Chain A
Amino acid sequence: MHAVRLSLTVAGHSFRRYATYRVATLAGVFTNTVFGFILAYTFVALWHERPQLGGYTPEQALTFVWIGQALLATVALMGGGVEEELHGRVRSGDVGIDLHRPADLQVWWLSADLGRAAFHLLGRGIVPLAVGALGFPLALPALPLPWLLFLVSVALGVVVGFAIRYLVALSAFWLLDGVGVRALSGLLGVFFSGMLLPLTLFPGVFGEVVRWLPWAAMLQVPADVLLGVHRGGDTLAALAFQAGWALALLALGRAVQRLAVRKVVVQGG
C-alpha cells in the first residue's frame, strides 16, 4: 500500500515538474506540428502514387503521421527523461543516494516516467493531432472504444519505452559516458517504431522481423489500434505483444540493475 502511494506521489510530482515549463511545451508542440505537415505532404505524394500502400488508405496513412507526432514525446522515441537524468546521476555518483532510499530504483523511475508521459500525452499530443485533423482528412474513430484501447496501448508503449531507456541509462555503470549508447538507442527508436515510415512498408523478411521488435510496441501498435487495423481478438493479441515486451524488458532491467549495484563504488564523501 505504501509503495503504491509513493509511486503515485512520484508520478504526480513528475507530471507537475514537466507542466511547469509552459514555453518549452509550446515550442515542442510547434515543432511537432511543423514536422507533421512536412511528413503529411510526403505521405500524400506517396499514397497518391500507390493508394493502398502498406494496407492503409490515404486517410489512414495521414492519421498515422499525426499519431506519430502526437506520441513522439509521450513514448520518448528519441530518448530523454529517465535516460538522461539517471545516466547523469550514475556519472556523478548521486545514484548512491538513490540506492540508499527505502524505495526500489526501477519502480521509482518508472513512476516518474509515467507522470512525464501523462503530461506529454496531454500537453504535446492533443494539439498536433487536432491541427492535423483540421489540415488533412484523417481517419479518426468516432466511437469511444477504439480510443480507450488506444490509451491502453499507449500506456503499454510508454512502459516498453521506459524499459528500454532504463537499460540504456544503466549502461552508464560500465561506460561512464553514455552519450553514444543514448544516440544509438534514439535512432533505433525512431527507425524501428514506424516514425519515419509505417513498418508495414518495410520490405520482405526485414519487414516481418521489425514488426516483432520491441520498438514496434511504441508507435506502430498504438497507431494500428487507433486506426482499427486489427479486428476483434487481434487487438488483444497486439496488446499482449506490447505487455510481453514490457514484462521481458522490465525483468531484464532488474537483472542488469542487480549486476550494476553489485559493481558500484561511489566516489567521494
Chain B
Amino acid sequence: MVDGLRAYALITGMWVRSTLAYRASFAMTVVANFAVTALDFVAIMIMFGHVDALGGFAMAEVAFLYGTTSAAFGLADLLLGSMNGVGQRVRDGTLDVLLVRPVPVFLQVAADRFALRRLGRVSQALLVLGWSLVQLDAASWSAGQWLMVPMMVLSGTAIYGALYAGGAAFQFWAQDAAEVQNSFTYGGNTLLQYPPTVFGAELVRGVTFVVPLAFVNWVPALRVLGRDDPLGLPGWVDFASPAVALVCCAGAGLAWRAGLRGYRSTGS
C-alpha cells in the first residue's frame, strides 16, 4: 500500500514536470480550468440577477451547494480524473505495459497523465464555498454544522472518486462508451449545484437510492441549512455520507477488480 502510494506520487510528479515544460500552455490550462467553473457560477449569478430564489433557495444557499459539490468533484477529478482514459488504453493495447510493472494497475491508471491544472476547479469551488459561508453567517453556526462541511467535501470526493473508478471499470467492457461516465460525474456535479426542490421527485429519489449522489451535498446540506428533506427520510440519514462513500468505494473496487480480471489484450 505504502509502496503503491509512493509510486503514485512518483508518476504524478513526473507528469507535473512534463506539463511544466510548456509554461505558457500550462498557465493557460490552469486559467481555463478555473474559468470554466467560474463561468458556470457566473451563469448562476445571471440567473439570480433575474430572480430572488430558485426552487425556494436564495443565492447564498445555492452557492453553498455549488461550493460543496464542486470542491468534492474537483478533488476527485484531480486525483482520479485520468481514469477516464482507460478505455483508450484498452483499445490500443497499451494497458499491457501497465500490467507488467510492479505497481497496482489502479494507481498507475489514476496517475496517468496527472493534470495539475485541475487545481483550478478546486480553488474556484473553495472561493465560492467561502463566500457562501460568509453570506450565510456561518460564524453563528454550531460546531456540528461546521464539522459537516469538511465531512461533505471528503465524503463527496470519495463518492465522485468511486464513480470515476466504477466508470473506468465499465470501460473494460464498453471501451467506446467513456462519455457515459460524464453523465454521472460532470452531470452529477451540475445537478447538485441546484437545490433538490428544482427537480422532479423521481430524479431526486434516483440520485438518493440508485446512484447516491445526493449524499455528496443535498442530504447533509439540507440539515446544515435547516431545510426540510423533500423525501422525508429519517434524521440520522443526514449524517450517513461517510458510510455511503465507503460502500461506494467498496463497490467500485470490486467492479474494478472484476473488470481488470476480465481484460483481454487486443493481442496485436
Contacts and interface: CB of A to CB of B under 8 A. Distances in A.
Interface of A: 21-24, 26-28, 30-31, 34-35, 37-39, 41-42, 44-46, 49-50, 53, 175-181, 183-184, 186-187, 190-191, 196-197, 201-203
Nearest to A184: B32
B25 A190 contact: no
Contacts of A39: 190
Contact of A181 (B28, B51, B182): B28
Contacts of B194: 38, 41-42, 45
B180 A31 contact: yes
Interface string B9-50: 000000000000010111111011101100110110011011
Contact of B36 (A35, A187, A197): A187
B158 to A, nearest CB: 22
Contacts of A38: 187, 190-191, 194, 199
B39 A27 contact: no
Contact of A34 (B40, B117, B187, B200): B187
A190 B177 CA distance: 23
Given A41-B203, A191-B39, A196-B39, A21 B28 contact: no
Given A41-B199, A177-B25, A201 B46 contact: yes
In terms of DSSP, what is the predominant structure of the interface of chain A?
helix
Interface of B: 22, 24-29, 31-33, 35-36, 39-40, 42-43, 46-47, 49-55, 117, 174-180, 182-183, 187, 190-191, 194, 198-200, 203
Contacts of A27: 174, 176-180
A92 B190 CA distance: 36
Contact of B190 (A30, A35, A49): A35
Contact of A30 (B28, B29, B51, B183): B183
Contacts of A23: 174-177
A184 B31 contact: yes
A24 B49 CA distance: 38
Contacts of B32: 180, 183-184, 186-187
Contacts of B29: 179-180, 183
Contacts of A178: 25
Nearest to B179: A27
B266 to A, nearest CB: 16
A175 B178 CA distance: 29
B186 to A, nearest CB: 8
B187 A46 contact: no
6 contacts: A34-B187, A42-B54, A45-B54, A180-B26, A184-B35, A191-B42
A202 B190 contact: no
The 3 closest A-B pairs by CB, nearest first: A180-B28, A183-B32, A177-B22
Contacts of B26: 180
A175 B23 CA distance: 10
Contact of A184 (B28, B46, B178, B199): B28
Contacts of B203: 37, 41
A26 B177 CA distance: 8
A177 B25 CA distance: 6
Contacts of A180: 24-29, 31-32
A31 B183 contact: yes
Nearest to B21: A177
Nearest to A195: B43
B46 A197 contact: yes
A46 B177 contact: no
**Which of B25, B26, B39, B203 has the most chain A CB within a 10 Å cutoff?**
B25
A45 B55 contact: yes
A44 B203 CA distance: 15
Contacts of B39: 187, 190-191, 196
A122 B215 CA distance: 37
B200 A41 contact: yes
Contact of A203 (B31, B46, B176, B180): B46
A39 B31 CA distance: 25
A50 B50 contact: yes
A183 B28 contact: yes
Contact of B177 (A24, A181, A202): A24
B267 to A, nearest CB: 20
Contacts of B49: 203
